[in-house]
Chains A and B, each alone.
Chain A
């Protein structure tokens, strides 16, 4: 039992923090929220140069051969800086499934492009039904000679508008039980018939509606096995939930620090407001929520990184964090007072992202049901 980071992980964390503090100030975050693309290609290439996109990819594909746990440390720092852009989409939703179940040709074709920063990927999973279960997959892929034709609408797809490739989760067999008959397709984003509309979201994070209208995809672009995609999708959701927890943890840690700093500086009634017991207790509650989030998130990340079954650990981390976010955010705002409710204050960057994270890749109710099953209820 050891809750500490390794020396290398501490170094990665420090390096990432220094880099992002410097290269991802809030002025950039604000600019990217308003921009069409939502990310800085310049910064993206710098990150690629640091080896971040290929961090966990094997060296033969241009990666760093590091672990998912190492990536988690990096993701936390990204969350702390509110780093805009398609990193989680490309690396977690794109490269890891290809690494997991892609054939050699696919791995050789796509992974080096991801490691170099050349290609942006995302996953088109959720539909207007807005659930993370197999029964919700209605987008259809119909066989046609050497191709499949995809029809339907995906919703809340991150970064689809800038992606070069989409991993599209579609139903290929309607007669089978809903978990069988699902296939993952690697779709070229420039394929005719795909149209993207960026949704306006609370976190300004470029989620998209993606409409597939008779989109033709070659058979060879099936990732993994025909009709057998759901088990990988479940793994993708687990990885993505952990990644989102890591980012969000970085965010709420920063919220805690900002709030404590503010409480020490802000004076009312001739004393720092942090000297009032209620404010002190609020901060203690926030610290407890953040520490609990930290250990449960890293427990999930470590277990996943070790290749051990992690369904329960992921569920605990996300179920906890999804609700801890609400509490931490509420207290951060309460302590900051009016200034925290202005758009010019940095707190709102974190508030909006923490809120979006609650339901992304499964909300607390979703994961509580998984835990109930794990408990044998």
Chain B
């Protein structure tokens, strides 16, 4: 048992911090909440790629660094802590690269992985549809064989990296006759193909991080099908573990945590800093406790991955827990700010760059995306505790 990181790991953490602090000092970007999913800055992604920090845990033969998932955890933890605009490469790095490594052909790996690692391929996620959210297997987007190609028709919603992607990871039905879980396949396709239309979705915070993607008879060469035809649903379940497994589920609005703590120390009411108020101390300390628990639950997920097991239950538990923390953080920050919590970023008198109301609204999505907390609890109960389904 060991709750500390090795000297090497601590050095790496300091290296990442140094890099990020330097970028902030140079004014290249400012820390913000949800930067991993809304902060699109291709130049930043290029600089991260130059340091070999995309695909850190992938095999060296494809250009990765062959390092451990704990190292990747440290890297992502610091990216999140500093609210770095990593959205262009986040999804490819987190799950798509792994999917290609796990199921892709040598040709697919050679074609796609180096592009991701170099910070040139921004891969969006095409999973959800208007009628297929939690029930992903009921998706309707179709891929019909035609010679050496597939013809794709359908519509995806909530495509992450939607407005910046040059590739989309797509799940489509390749056998409409088979039971719904057994007729689905995975693709990674270029988004500049004729017939693809991308329109931004504005979320409740006013951000357009996601998009709708329409496929109108899009012709895709068969060599872009990943893994086994009609086996895609089972491949995707593995990928979803990675999507749920990370610290972005706990630290998406971490900059708000730092900001509200600083605010309470610097703001006086009746001559006393807010941080001396007993209630505020208790609320912030409770958030710290909840954060530390989330951190431990997430480290457990990564250790399971490093052992070579699918962290099905562990990732579900960690994400359901962690997103509740993020929501608690946002609502606590709003409580502390009182009337000031209403003031959004551009307003006169708005404290902490309007991060609190922004996060309060945005955090509504945390417990829904990448597995609703209800679905996740089903997984913990069924797969983790063995509770029966009927």
Contacts and interface: CB of A to CB of B under 8 A. Distances in A.
A319 interface: yes
A287 B384 contact: yes
A319 B377 contact: no
A263 B284 CA distance: 37
B205 interface: no
A142 interface: no
B381 A283 contact: yes
Given A287-B317, A299-B296, A372-B285, A275 B380 contact: no
Interface string B366-390: 0000000010111011101111111
B289 A69 contact: no
Contacts of B144: none
B202 to A, nearest CB: 32
A1 B285 contact: no
A288 B378 contact: no
Interface string A244-288: 000000000000000010011000000110110101110111011
Contact of A264 (B288, B376, B377, B388): B388
Interface string A194-232: 000000000000000000000000000000000000000
Nearest to B317: A288
B380 A3 contact: no
Interface residues of B, number: 45
A281 B288 CA distance: 25
A371 B288 contact: yes
B269 to A, nearest CB: 15
A91 interface: no
A1 B2 contact: yes
B387 A288 contact: no
Contacts of A283: 380-381, 385, 387
B374 to A, nearest CB: 7
B70 to A, nearest CB: 6
B339 interface: no
B110 interface: no
Interface stretch (A38-46, A133-141, A149-157, A290-298): A290-298
Contact of A1 (B70, B317, B374, B382): B70
Nearest to B280: A377
B382 A280 contact: yes
A5 interface: yes
A371 B286 CA distance: 8
Contacts of B286: 319, 368
A87 interface: no
A154 to B, nearest CB: 28
Interface residues of A, number: 44
Nearest to B300: A3
A284 B380 contact: yes
B367 to A, nearest CB: 13
A1 B299 contact: yes
A3 B286 CA distance: 24
B282 A284 contact: no
Contacts of A287: 317, 380, 384-385
Given A260-B386, A287-B317, A375 B284 contact: yes
B281 A281 contact: no
A291 B222 CA distance: 45
A260 B292 contact: no
Nearest to B384: A287
- If over half of B's interface residues share one DSSP class (helix, strand or loop), that class is named, otherwise mixed; here it is helix
Interface in A296-352: 296, 298-299, 302-303, 313, 316, 319-320
B297 A292 contact: yes
B136 interface: no
Interface string A360-377: 000001001101100111
B282 A260 contact: no
B386 A2 contact: no
Contacts of B151: none
A283 B3 CA distance: 28
A83 to B, nearest CB: 23
Interface string B3-46: 11100010000000000000000000000000000000000000
B141 to A, nearest CB: 29
Contacts of B293: 292, 295-296, 316, 320
Nearest to B74: A1
A4 interface: yes
Nearest to B321: A288
A322 to B, nearest CB: 10
B378 A280 contact: yes
A277 B282 CA distance: 34
Given A3-B303, A320-B289, A284 B385 contact: yes
Interface in B26-77: 70
B285 A295 contact: no
A372 B275 CA distance: 9
A6 interface: yes
B300 A295 contact: yes
B387 A280 contact: yes
B320 interface: yes
A368 B320 CA distance: 24
Nearest to B292: A316
Nearest to A274: B387
B306 to A, nearest CB: 9
Contact of B3 (A263, A285, A303, A320): A303
Contacts of A291: 297, 300, 317
A38 to B, nearest CB: 33
B1 A371 contact: no
Given A260-B387, A281-B374, A375-B288, A4 B296 contact: no
Contacts of A280: 377-378, 381-382, 385, 387
Given A1-B303, A284-B380, A368 B387 contact: no
Q: Among A6, A279, A372, which residue has the most Cβ atoms of chain B within 10 A? A: A372
Give the 6 A-B residue pairs with the shortest CB-CB distance, closest first.
A280-B381, A295-B296, A284-B380, A368-B285, A284-B377, A372-B281
Given A3-B296, A377-B265, 12 more contacts: A1-B4, A277-B374, A283-B381, A284-B320, A284-B380, A288-B297, A291-B317, A296-B296, A316-B288, A368-B285, A368-B289, A376-B265
13 contacts: A1-B5, A2-B2, A3-B300, A4-B1, A271-B388, A272-B387, A274-B388, A280-B378, A281-B378, A284-B377, A302-B1, A372-B282, A375-B285
